[in-house]
A and B are shown apart, each in its own frame.
Chain A
């Protein structure tokens, strides 16, 4: 089998890239994509740990299921909020939306 470290490396890369997308993207929709990537990296950890170390702990797959559910709900609510933002401002560019200091 593939060494476990490789899988963790992939997962960490996915997480880091997702975080970078979330922080640096100016487009709010693209920033929300970063969240999906980060949650997905967590899923990869759960499945890999289940497979390599704890094959009888199905808690991992349950956790993955719940995380996927949450990701779906979060995407729906998040996109609704971004749509709402677009209606107020006519743009989803986060750099142009600065009514408040900070």
Chain B
């Protein structure tokens, strides 16, 4: 096997493992005799997901792999061409500025020029220039790592705007291994989210053993795995069209998953609603991308960032449509209307996946697209996201208070959580505007997404177990859970308190960092609104706790069986929630490193 293939294998190890697992599940399902033995298949797939999460973690600790020699060579050529253009430009400036002496191309000189406002390319930062300089002149290709190479390319794409507009093919990126480098980020940010998605799939599969998905378990599992794969592609891609492929891959898996229960008409209704509104969102997204292509001639985030100088109305319209697409994905108000109905009709396992992993991917991609592709529009998108965040927090929390159906309660609470998370995304934009370090917002976002994914899947699982046992999705089904299943009730209590943000549990730590990032950027009103609404949320979480702990069980209620796989999953979820709350430091540090990979300069 040649070195380039090894590079691709290394870069996409989690994704390839996940797809292989999905295909294996399909195959085994075809060969196995029909029967209930297939629950074993779900456990097997869950363990496979755990392995995929391990691969993701391995990628995260090792950082991005070094690209193969062919890529490094073409980057080297690009960087040299960029440097030549740079010198020509410098010569031009030295002619128009007779006071300056003959230009010496040192980084300090270039940075000085930037500070003197003489620099014609505002979007090229100091780091880019240092990297370009390093790549072109000082060092050979041995020490050229991906970050430098990418920075050099950003600089080069910025430069080529004034030389000639060149597409990817003309840059010499003609081979698949180079495409890996060109179209995908492969940074620690995406590796961290790969871990989150694989963990979410692991938990959802463990819990799905408990839920009746009839005889079609193999298809169910493989579609869930494909959906997780699509999410990984989304967070990893730098090209908006490839991102669309990932988005649609997930969507096309989730539409049938929502409509899975053939004997439940609500499931069919929910599937249709999700299909129509989801297609509307994806169509808005791709139309926005096409408008960006009209403006910039590329759908690549780096090129868009490099070519953008002033607010162009068509680019703004494109950005707005893209934000609408993701706003739907993360269920932020006023694009949240689908969520309660879809969650209510969908199987519990699917609702858990939708409200966590899918939402997390939406936020991760939103952060990447906005901060990497559209830093120049920070003012516009930060304002827009601030409005959506305020609406989501208020709408989600106030409507959740009136819910009797546990799934709808969790859906509205999820809308409110989306509001808190949007505050963090907004804080990065505000930080960029004010010239601060945007890492705090990113750190809060990553940390909260992790603990929210874990905790919310657990809450959905408990709700599913109770609903399956009592045959009712109403809150009253929880009555007297303390006596029927004391461990389950205690676990649910911890998860609910964490979602509500009680100190010493994970949710508090997450909210603390989110509100902190908001306060640092002077968003006092928004943070005040979020904090006061989060008090309201404690009220409705406690309503559920009251059912479990204070109200008596029905006379004919029996003890509730949980099952080993779901029990292990719940134990894991509760332990993680307590661990993050009690000793947050390692998690915060990991989130910091992850955010640094995306936002660090």
B283 near A32: Cβ-Cβ < 8 Å: no
Q: What's the nearest-Cβ distance from chain B to residue A56, in Å? A: 6
Contacts of A39 in B (CB 8 A): 283, 286
- What 1/0 mask marks residues of chain B from 185 to 221 whose CB sits below 8 Å from any chain A CB? 0000000000000000000000000000000000000
Answer yes or no: B236 CB below 8 A from chain A CBs. no
Q: What's the nearest-Cβ distance from chain A to residue B120, in Å? A: 22
Report the bound CA distance from A69 to B453 in whole Å. Answer: 32
Query: Known contacts A45-B290, A81-B256: does B268 contact A88 (CB below 8 Å)?
Result: yes
Stretch of B65-73, B241-249, B384-392, B515-523 contacting A (4+ beta carbons < 8 Å): B241-249
Stretch of B79-87, B273-281, B546-554 contacting A (4+ beta carbons < 8 Å): B273-281
A22 near B276: Cβ-Cβ < 8 Å: yes
Answer yes or no: B271 CB below 8 A from chain A CBs. yes
Answer yes or no: B530 CB below 8 A from chain A CBs. no
Answer yes or no: B395 CB below 8 A from chain A CBs. no
Q: What's the nearest-Cβ distance from chain B to residue A31, in Å? A: 5
B268 near A84: Cβ-Cβ < 8 Å: yes
A54 near B248: Cβ-Cβ < 8 Å: no
Query: Known contacts A97-B272, A100-B266, A102-B337: does B286 contact A67 (CB below 8 Å)?
Result: yes
Contacts of B7 in A (CB 8 A): none
User: Which residue in A31, A81, A98, A99 is a CB contact (below 8 Å) of B271?
Assistant: A81
Report the bound CA distance from A8 to B314 in whole Å. Answer: 11
The A-contacting residues of B in range 130-167, CB under 8 angstroms, are: 165-167
Contacts of A57 in B (CB 8 A): 165, 167, 297-298
B299 near A63: Cβ-Cβ < 8 Å: yes
B167 near A84: Cβ-Cβ < 8 Å: no
Q: In this complex, what residue of B is CB-closest to A41?
A: B287
Contacts of A78 in B (CB 8 A): 255, 275, 279
Q: In this complex, what residue of B is CB-closest to A18?
A: B283
Report the bound CA distance from A46 to B282 in whole Å. Answer: 16
Query: Known contacts A45-B291, A73-B252: does B269 contact A100 (CB below 8 Å)?
Result: yes
Contacts of A67 in B (CB 8 A): 241, 244, 286
Query: Known contacts A46-B290, A53-B297: does B283 contact A35 (CB below 8 Å)?
Result: yes
User: Which residue in B169, B244, B256, B268 is a CB contact (below 8 Å) of A89?
Assistant: B268
B287 near A15: Cβ-Cβ < 8 Å: yes
Query: Known contacts A18-B283, A77-B256, A100-B344: does B248 contact A70 (CB below 8 Å)?
Result: yes
Report the bound CA distance from A28 to B287 in whole Å. Answer: 22
Report the bound CA distance from A11 to B286 in whole Å. Answer: 13
B294 near A45: Cβ-Cβ < 8 Å: yes
Query: Known contacts A8-B294, A63-B299: does B252 contact A77 (CB below 8 Å)?
Result: yes
B252 near A97: Cβ-Cβ < 8 Å: no
Report the bound CA distance from A101 to B256 in whole Å. Answer: 21
Q: In this complex, what residue of B is CB-closest to A49?
A: B294
User: Which residue in B166, B241, B259 is a CB contact (below 8 Å) of A63?
Assistant: B241
Answer yes or no: B262 CB below 8 A from chain A CBs. yes
The A-contacting residues of B in range 214-265, CB under 8 angstroms, are: 241, 244-245, 248, 251-252, 255-256, 259, 262, 265
Report the bound CA distance from A91 to B522 in whole Å. Answer: 53
User: Which residue in A41, A66, A74, A84 is a CB contact (below 8 Å) of B252?
Assistant: A74
Q: What's the nearest-Cβ distance from chain B to residue A63, in Å? A: 5
Query: Known contacts A54-B165, A57-B167, A88-B265: does B290 contact A81 (CB below 8 Å)?
Result: no
B245 near A70: Cβ-Cβ < 8 Å: yes
Q: What's the nearest-Cβ distance from chain B to residue A83, in Å? A: 10
Answer yes or no: B270 CB below 8 A from chain A CBs. yes
Most buried by A among B248, B251, B345: B248
Answer yes or no: B501 CB below 8 A from chain A CBs. no
Report the bound CA distance from A84 to B408 in whole Å. Answer: 24
User: Which residue in B166, B265, B276, B293 is a CB contact (below 8 Å) of A60?
Assistant: B293
B241 near A81: Cβ-Cβ < 8 Å: no
A63 near B293: Cβ-Cβ < 8 Å: yes
- What 1/0 mask marks residues of chain A from 35 to 49 whose CB sits below 8 Å from any chain B CB? 100110111011011
User: Which residue in A23, A59, A85 is a CB contact (below 8 Å) of B268?
Assistant: A85
Query: Known contacts A63-B241, A81-B259, A84-B268: does B248 contact A74 (CB below 8 Å)?
Result: yes
The A-contacting residues of B in range 158-183, CB under 8 angstroms, are: 165-170
Answer yes or no: B4 CB below 8 A from chain A CBs. no
B297 near A54: Cβ-Cβ < 8 Å: yes
Q: In this complex, what residue of B is CB-closest to A53?
A: B297
Answer yes or no: B341 CB below 8 A from chain A CBs. yes
Report the bound CA distance from A98 to B268 in whole Å. Answer: 11
Answer yes or no: A94 CB below 8 A from chain B CBs. yes
B271 near A85: Cβ-Cβ < 8 Å: yes
Q: What's the nearest-Cβ distance from chain A to residue B220, in Å? A: 15
A99 near B294: Cβ-Cβ < 8 Å: no
Report the bound CA distance from A22 to B562 in whole Å. Answer: 43
User: Which residue in A11, A22, A46, A89 is a CB contact (below 8 Å) of B279?
Assistant: A22
B279 near A74: Cβ-Cβ < 8 Å: yes
A53 near B294: Cβ-Cβ < 8 Å: yes
Report the bound CA distance from A66 to B247 in whole Å. Answer: 13
Most buried by B among A15, A53, A100: A100
User: Which residue in A19, A41, A45 is a CB contact (below 8 Å) of B280?
Assistant: A19
List 9 extra interface pairs beyond A31-B276, A82-B272, CB under 8 A: A38-B284, A42-B289, A46-B293, A59-B167, A66-B245, A81-B259, A84-B268, A84-B271, A100-B341
30 A-B residue pairings within 8 Å (CB atoms): A11-B290, A19-B280, A19-B283, A23-B280, A31-B276, A32-B276, A39-B286, A42-B290, A43-B290, A45-B290, A45-B291, A48-B294, A49-B290, A53-B294, A53-B297, A56-B170, A59-B167, A60-B293, A67-B241, A67-B244, A67-B286, A77-B275, A78-B279, A81-B256, A81-B271, A82-B272, A97-B272, A99-B266, A101-B340, A102-B340
Chain A residues in the interface with B (C-beta under 8 A): 8, 11, 15, 18-19, 22-23, 28, 31-32, 35, 38-39, 41-43, 45-46, 48-49, 53-54, 56-60, 62-63, 66-67, 70, 73-74, 77-78, 80-82, 84-85, 87-89, 94, 97-102
Chain B residues in the interface with A (C-beta under 8 A): 165-170, 241, 244-245, 248, 251-252, 255-256, 259, 262, 265-266, 268-272, 275-276, 279-280, 282-284, 286-287, 289-291, 293-294, 297-299, 337, 340-341, 344-345
